[in-house]
């Protein structure tokens, strides 16, 4: 198999810089449920236990890091007061007052919070609270940084030409919300990363990789996903289907079944949580923290219109770029027309690719396999939120980020299917267009965040950067270092694309060893 085009590592570096930027651009605790996730990490660290559903409580001293004069922002302010550490906030809390309301993230498995607890255990107690949160955000950056490389390898495995490989690697840039989420503390990042690994490994399996190594790696990534969030359950049938495809295509069903059992045994290290839920609560995922309507559930026919309206508005904008600007409190950073239109085009394009017999090495069965996580997450979200809406009258749980476990598969389908439908001479231009459009969309999103979260909407970029330098958790020189990194990476990506190096096939030299392996693979005549 040929190597990845040079633009792919360049895009990976650019994506890492974007994630680092988002870790500074979104103020502390402004991201959805960030305080609850950190409270869960501290609770697990202090007690060594993860209580059952509705038994985990918020630690009030963690919430005390949100100052009254700057709600939703980091603890440091323009006053001369020194920011406090979480240890100081904990010690200053009145005795017996540490447990607050029910922490809704207690319905999730403990995997991600064990990761947080491990990092919190090694951080010094005197680190200011907002700096501690930033350090935890850097773990999210590390989790999602390899995403372009993973997508590039997945596209290469499906025999995509260099242009399609570059388009796949640039896919994350087209969804600014993915980058914004990747710069905050949330269990969605661990799930998205683990799901991407499972997806790329499923591609390898479906295209003939029936090695023990692939089975163990797939089972391990699936175990991590299952111990993170319920949406990981949609990945289980994907792995099963990948092995069935491999066994059927190669006529080695028995070998495929043995490897599937091995992958399942490893995945059971994370799947036990859901079996325990069935035993304890009679359901895989207990949910619902809001009171029911006093007059009883809504009539399904009467509630369907409002539910659909809320879904069409909320899911696309929260998938592409809500950027922690809450719906209903402020106008969204981009119009509903734009985000809903992009979402519609994305879904329609995926259906068109699925209808094709093949797109390079992506056959129809492969496309269905890759789209299954996205479709499964959407179905699970609807199945969970629709009864909840009828019971409470609130459109809870309609989150675009819940679809991110299917992001890798969806991106591979679109990245291969789009160029396959274009004339050969236009494929390179299409890849360049994806990179440019992703960069522009991400840049505009960052500009909106500077205006909303750090300064006035009509203020300059410099004003926003000065606010981050004054209130943010990182030293001011890091902003300059990021700026230099962007200039260098932009030149790297631009040189690859303009010179054509990124899109030219990179073939490894033929060696005697490779030739002998090819000869051994050729069946002998009887």
pLDDT of residue 450: 87
Instruction: Calculate what percentage of the chain has a pLDDT beyond 90.
Output: 70
pLDDT of residue 268: 96
Sole residue written with tokens 């809870």: 396
What value does the mean pLDDT take over residues 389-398?
90
Q: How far apart are CA 79 and CA 88, in angstroms?
A: 19
In 3-state terms, what secondary structure has residue 359? strand
* pLDDT for 304 beyond 80: yes
* pLDDT for 288 beyond 80: no
Structure-model confidence comparison of residues 263 and 458, the more confident one: 263
Buried b (16+ CB within 10 A) or exposed e, 476-487: eeebeebeebbe
- Burial, 327: exposed, middle or buried (Cβ in 10 Å; 0-12, 13-18, 19+)? middle
Which tokens sit at 277? 């839920």
Structure-model confidence comparison of residues 17 and 74, the more confident one: 17
| Spatial contact of 157 and 204, defined as CB atoms under 8 Å apart | yes
Using alpha carbons only, what angle is made at residue 181 by residues 122 and 39, rounded to the nearest 5 degrees? 45
Assign 3-class secondary structure to 229-260: CHHHHHHHHHHHHHHHHHHHHHCCHHHHHHHH
pLDDT tens digits along 150-206: 999 999 999 999 999 999 999 999 999 999 999 999 999 999 999 999 999 999 999
Q: How far apart are CA 153 and CA 169, in angstroms?
A: 9
pLDDT tens digits along 444-489: 999 988 888 887 666 678 888 888 888 888 888 898 899 999 999 9
Task: Give the DSSP H or E segment for 416.
Answer: helix 407-420
The residues near 337 (Cβ < 8 Å, ≥ 6 apart) are none
* pLDDT for 513 beyond 60: no
Sole residue written with tokens 């490994």: 201
| Spatial contact of 395 and 143, defined as CB atoms under 8 Å apart | no
pLDDT of residue 193: 98
48: left (phi over 0), alpha (psi -120 to 50) or beta: left
| Spatial contact of 59 and 99, defined as CB atoms under 8 Å apart | yes
Q: How far apart are CA 480 and CA 391, in angstroms?
A: 51
pLDDT of residue 497: 87
Q: Taking the CA atoms of 110, 112, 115 and 120 in sequence, report the sign of the dihedral they define.
A: negative
Buried b (16+ CB within 10 A) or exposed e, 410-421: bbbbbbbbbbbe
pLDDT of residue 519: 37
| Spatial contact of 336 and 134, defined as CB atoms under 8 Å apart | no
Nearest by Cα to 173 from 415, 370, 395? 415
| Spatial contact of 234 and 405, defined as CB atoms under 8 Å apart | yes
* pLDDT for 353 beyond 60: yes
Q: Of 220-234, 270-284, 506-520, where does mean pLDDT reach its minimum?
A: 506-520
Nearest by Cα to 135 from 66, 85, 91? 85
pLDDT of residue 328: 65
Which tokens sit at 512? 């005697």
* pLDDT for 227 beyond 50: yes
Q: Where are the domains of the chain?
A: 7-26+141-499, 34-140
What value does the mean pLDDT take over residues 124-138?
94
pLDDT of residue 31: 87
Q: Of 29-43, 268-282, 319-333, 407-421, where does mean pLDDT reach its minimum?
A: 319-333
Which tokens sit at 272? 């036990």
Give the Cβ contact number of residue 360 at 10 Å. Answer: 15
* pLDDT for 508 beyond 60: no
pLDDT of residue 289: 63
pLDDT of residue 456: 66
* pLDDT for 273 beyond 70: yes
Q: How far apart are CA 144 and CA 192, in angstroms?
A: 8
Residue 129 has φ and ψ, to the nearest 5°, of -60, -45
Mean pLDDT of the chain: 89
Structure-model confidence comparison of residues 260 and 82, the more confident one: 260
* pLDDT for 507 beyond 70: no
| Spatial contact of 340 and 316, defined as CB atoms under 8 Å apart | yes
Q: How far apart are CA 359 and CA 416, in angstroms?
A: 6
In 3-state terms, what secondary structure has residue 102? strand
Which residue blocks in 124-172 are alpha helix, DSSP H? Answer: 129-144, 147-157, 162-170
pLDDT of residue 119: 96
pLDDT tens digits along 89-111: 998 888 666 788 899 999 999 99
Strands 358-359 and 362-363: antiparallel
* pLDDT for 1 beyond 70: no
pLDDT of residue 40: 96
């Amino acid at each position: 198999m040929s190597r990845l085009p040079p633009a792919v590592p360049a895009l990976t570096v650019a994506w890492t810089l974007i994630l680092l930027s988002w870790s500074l651009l979104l103020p502390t605790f402004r991201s959805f449920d960030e305080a609850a996730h950190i409270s869960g990490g501290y609770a697990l660290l202090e007690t060594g236990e993860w209580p059952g559903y509705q038994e985990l409580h918020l630690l009030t001293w963690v919430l005390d890091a949100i100052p009254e004069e700057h709600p939703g922002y980091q603890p440091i302010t323009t006053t001369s007061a020194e920011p406090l550490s979480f240890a100081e906030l904990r010690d200053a809390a009145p005795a017996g007052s540490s447990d607050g309301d029910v922490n809704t993230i207690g319905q999730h498995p403990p995997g991600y919070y064990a990761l947080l607890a491990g990092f919190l255990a090694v951080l010094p107690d005197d680190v200011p609270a907002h700096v501690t949160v930033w350090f935890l955000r850097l773990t999210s950056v590390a989790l999602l940084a390899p995403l372009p490389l993973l997508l590039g390898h997945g596209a290469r495995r499906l025999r995509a030409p260099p242009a399609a490989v570059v388009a796949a690697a640039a896919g994350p840039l087209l969804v600014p919300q993915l980058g914004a989420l990747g710069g905050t503390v949330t269990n969605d990042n661990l799930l998205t990363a683990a799901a991407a690994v499972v997806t790329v490994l499923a591609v390898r399996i479906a295209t003939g990789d029936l090695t023990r190594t692939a089975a163990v790696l797939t089972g391990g990534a699936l175990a991590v996903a299952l111990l993170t969030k319920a949406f990981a359950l949609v990945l289980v049938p994907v792995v099963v289907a990948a092995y069935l495809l491999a066994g059927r295509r190669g006529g080695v069903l028995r070998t495929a079944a043995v490897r599937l059992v091995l992958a399942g045994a490893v995945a059971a290290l994370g799947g036990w949580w859901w079996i325990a839920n069935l035993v304890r609560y009679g359901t895989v995922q207990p949910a619902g923290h809001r009171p029911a309507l006093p007059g009883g559930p809504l009539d399904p026919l009467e509630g369907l219109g409002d539910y659909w309206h809320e879904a069409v508005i909320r899911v696309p904008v929260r998938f592409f770029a809500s950027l922690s600007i809450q719906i209903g409190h402020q106008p969204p950073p981009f119009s509903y027309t734009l985000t809903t239109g992009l979402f519609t085009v994305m879904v329609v394009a995926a259906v068109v690719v699925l209808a094709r017999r093949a797109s390079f090495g992506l056959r129809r069965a492969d496309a269905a396999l890759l789209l299954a996580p996205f479709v499964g997450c959407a179905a699970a979200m609807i199945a969970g939120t629709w009864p909840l809406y009828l019971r409470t009258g609130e459109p809870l749980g309609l989150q675009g980020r819940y679809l991110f476990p299917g992001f890798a598969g969806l991106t591979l389908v679109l990245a291969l299917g789009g160029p396959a439908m274009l004339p050969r001479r236009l494929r390179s231009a299409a890849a360049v267009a994806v990179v440019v459009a992703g960069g522009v969309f991400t840049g505009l999103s960052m500009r909106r965040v500077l205006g909303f979260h750090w300064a006035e909407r009509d203020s300059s970029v410099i004003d926003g950067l000065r606010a981050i330098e004054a209130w943010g958790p990182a030293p001011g020189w890091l902003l300059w270092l990021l700026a230099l990194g962007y200039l260098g990476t932009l030149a790297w990506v631009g040189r690859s694309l303009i010179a054509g190096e990124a899109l030219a096939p990179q073939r490894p030299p033929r060696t005697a060893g490779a030739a002998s392996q090819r000869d051994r693979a050729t069946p002998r005549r009887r």
